[in-house]
Amino acid sequence: MANKSILVIGGGISGLTTALEAAEVGYEVYLVEKNPYLGGRVAQMHHYFPKLCPPNCGLEINFKRLRGNPRIKFFTCAEVEQISGQKGDFDVTVKVNPRYVKPECTACGECVAVCPAERANTFNYGLDNTKAVYLPHPFAFPLKYVIDRDACADGCRKCVEACKYNAIDLDMEVETVHLKVGAIVYATGWQPYDATKISYYGFGRHKNVITNVMLERLAVPNGPTGGRIVRPSDGKEPETIAFVQCAGSRDENHQPYCSQVCCLASLKHITYIRENNPNAKIYVFYIDIRALGKYEDFYTKVANDENVIFIKGKVGEITEDPATGDLTLETEDQGAGQVVQQTVNLVVLATGMAPSVTAVPAELAVVDAGGFVISDIAQTGIGGAGCAHKPMEVSASVRDATAAALKAVQAVVGGGK
């Protein structure tokens, strides 16, 4: 008899949605997330476009659904190691990496006070540091601390001594969990395209060239700058900002597809900047502004701002003035055949989405050239949802993840009961 449980890999907005939607129909669901918290990439966003509302609001509702639903079992710090079998009958090996903090953690925070070591804060894309023992972010669900053992000082046990609840185990080992499921949904989301690969834009070399996801963290009130959008080189608020659209997208040398979200993300970022600085002048270098449907209203709103200038053209190269940290963008005016130059204080690269799918068993599922999981879950029992399936924005991801839940249900009921 077919196994009716569903495995969802990835606990971001898509994975949470697929898991909750299937569980609320009545199916048993396992949710496996590699981070020490659920919420994924959207937990790092300041606002959603076009409503400019905080993602934590929707996540909170989803966590509430999760807390109240006995049919979902979730694992954090966990990765799927191996999958074998077939639709209706998969064997899955899940590796649960040590958190070094036991479930008894009450999140009292005493450990952080005594921890002497620091690590780069990956949640803030390395824009600041946390202690080696840390809460991944203020809204982390589950609200449990985690330890980055690589960052610990040799032999240090200060946190262990400080914890009144005996909740820290520095010798915690990897655990292996075996699951039997009938369908598997990859909802592993996306990575920002590695901007260092677009060498002529100077990311990593020019301090004041940042990416769109970094800007998101700068804008958040609880982010590394307390919500101030400033230049990394001198901490000053930029007066002129350029957005470089399609940085690595729609480009045969990088990612040939359109990442779908970057236009609206940049429009949203412009609202962050303009809200804080009435004098800021913004240049957007673009190929096409792709604001589908009602998103057009949002584009119209931003385009009506006279401090925002849209320039059609693909930026060729960005150079830095080492004295000021300012940047000059060179863009070819396609018709006149001449090069236009624009100097600004800060450049934001609208880097696109690369799927963050790993270890999809080739004999069981279909992955396209870009790395997206495209097989039909109902047919093969394995497929993708959200940005592991194709590039898309949050609303479309939720829609796709809901559809994936039905496909997974079909897979486990064998196409009709």
Partner 1 sequence: MTKKQAVYFCTGCGLGEALDIPALVKVAKSEFKIQDVKEHPFLCGPEGVALIKKDIEAGVNTVSIAACSERVCYDVFNFGPSIIVERIPLRERVAWVQEPGDEDTNMMAEDYVRMGLSRAKVTELPEPFLVENPSKTILVVGGGLAGMTAALEAAKAGYDVVLVEKEAQLGGWAGKVYKLPPLVEPFTDLAENNIPALAKAIEDNPRIKVYTGATMESIAGGPGVFNAKIKHGGGTAEEKVGAIVLATGARPYDPKKLTYLGYGKTNVVTHAEVEEMAKNGKLKEVKRVAFIQCAGSRDPEHLPYCSAACCVETLKQAVYLKEFNPDAQVYIFYKDIRATGKYEYFYKAVQQTGAVFIKTEIPGVQVLEDGGKLAVAGKDIILGEDVTIGDLDLVVLANGMQTNAAFGEEVVLEDAEAEAAAAKEEEAAVKLDQIIKSNMLNLVYRQGPEMPALKYGFPDSHFICFPYETRRTGIYAAGVVRATMQVPAAIEDATGAALKAIQCVEAVARGEAVHPRSGDISYPEFNMNRCTQCKRCTEECPFGAINEDEKANPLPERTRCRRCGTCMGACPERIISFKNYSVPMIGGMAKSIEVPEEEEEKPRILIFACENDAIPALDMAGIGRMKYSAWVRVIPLRCLGSLNLVWISDAMSSGIDGVMLLGCRHGEDYQCHFIKGSELAEIRLSKVSETLDRLGLESERCRFHQVSIMDYYRIPKLIEDFVAKIDELGPNPMKGF
Contacting partner 1 within 214-233 (CB under 8 A): 220-222
30 is a contact residue toward partner 1 (CB under 8 A): no
Helix (H) or strand (E) holding 402: helix 394-413
Alpha carbon of 224 to those of 215, 229, 276: distances in Å?
11, 10, 17
Per CB under 8 A, the segment of 13-21, 89-97, 124-132, 187-195 that binds partner 1 is: 13-21
Q: Which is nearer to partner 1, 118 or 332 (CB)?
A: 332
Q: Which is nearer to partner 1, 250 or 274 (CB)?
A: 250
Q: Which is nearer to partner 1, 71 or 95 (CB)?
A: 71
In whole angstroms, the minimum distance from the beta carbon of 396 to partner 1 comes to 7
Q: Which is nearer to partner 1, 156 or 406 (CB)?
A: 406
Quick one: which of 143, 153, 174, 339 contacts partner 1 (CB under 8 A)? Answer: 143
Q: Which is nearer to partner 1, 198 or 346 (CB)?
A: 198
In whole angstroms, the minimum distance from the beta carbon of 42 to partner 1 comes to 8
Q: Which of residues 323-342 bind partner 1 (CB under 8 A)?
A: 334-336
In whole angstroms, the minimum distance from the beta carbon of 401 to partner 1 comes to 8
Helix (H) or strand (E) holding 384: strand 382-384
Strands 133-134 and 146-147: antiparallel
Helix (H) or strand (E) holding 32: strand 29-32
In whole angstroms, the minimum distance from the beta carbon of 297 to partner 1 comes to 7
In whole angstroms, the minimum distance from the beta carbon of 382 to partner 1 comes to 16
Quick one: which of 114, 120, 151, 258 contacts partner 1 (CB under 8 A)? Answer: 258
Measured distance CA(29)–CA(5) in Å, rounded: 6
Q: Which is nearer to partner 1, 209 or 405 (CB)?
A: 405
Per CB under 8 A, the segment of 58-66, 206-214, 318-326, 342-350 that binds partner 1 is: 58-66
Q: Which is nearer to partner 1, 202 or 272 (CB)?
A: 272
293 is a contact residue toward partner 1 (CB under 8 A): yes
Backbone angles phi, psi at 174, to 5 degrees: -65, 140
Quick one: which of 127, 340, 364, 413 contacts partner 1 (CB under 8 A)? Answer: 413
Q: Which of residues 145-184 bind partner 1 (CB under 8 A)?
A: 164-165
Q: Which is nearer to partner 1, 181 or 327 (CB)?
A: 181
239 is a contact residue toward partner 1 (CB under 8 A): no
Measured distance CA(41)–CA(19) in Å, rounded: 17
Write the CB contacts of 123 (distance below 8 Å, at least 6 apart in sequence): 44, 136, 137, 217
The two three-digit tokens of residue 205, written as one number: 């070399």
In whole angstroms, the minimum distance from the beta carbon of 13 to partner 1 comes to 7
Quick one: which of 1, 51, 235, 279 contacts partner 1 (CB under 8 A)? Answer: 51
Helix (H) or strand (E) holding 350: strand 346-351
Quick one: which of 239, 296, 305, 317 contacts partner 1 (CB under 8 A)? Answer: 296
Backbone angles phi, psi at 16, to 5 degrees: -60, -40
Q: Which is nearer to partner 1, 99 or 206 (CB)?
A: 99
96 is a contact residue toward partner 1 (CB under 8 A): no
Measured distance CA(329)–CA(235) in Å, rounded: 21
Distance in Å from the first CA to the final CA of the chain = 12
Mapped onto helix, strand or coil, the DSSP state of residue 78 is: strand
Strands 209-211 and 346-351: parallel
The two three-digit tokens of residue 249, written as one number: 């997208």
In whole angstroms, the minimum distance from the beta carbon of 58 to partner 1 comes to 3
Q: Which is nearer to partner 1, 168 or 209 (CB)?
A: 168
Quick one: which of 56, 97, 191, 277 contacts partner 1 (CB under 8 A)? Answer: 56
Give burial (CB, 10 Å; 0-12/13-18/19+) of 235.
exposed
Task: List alpha helices for 55-181, DSSP H.
Answer: 55-67, 110-114, 158-162
Q: Which is nearer to partner 1, 326 or 400 (CB)?
A: 400
Measured distance CA(248)–CA(265) in Å, rounded: 15
Q: Which of residues 357-396 bind partner 1 (CB under 8 A)?
A: 368, 374, 378, 390-392, 394-396
Q: Which of residues 180-219 bind partner 1 (CB under 8 A)?
A: none
Task: List alpha helices for 12-131, DSSP H.
Answer: 13-25, 55-67, 110-114
- Residue 282: which of 241, 341, 311, 343 has the closest Cα? 241
> What's the full length of the chain, in residues?
417
The two three-digit tokens of residue 200, written as one number: 């002529």
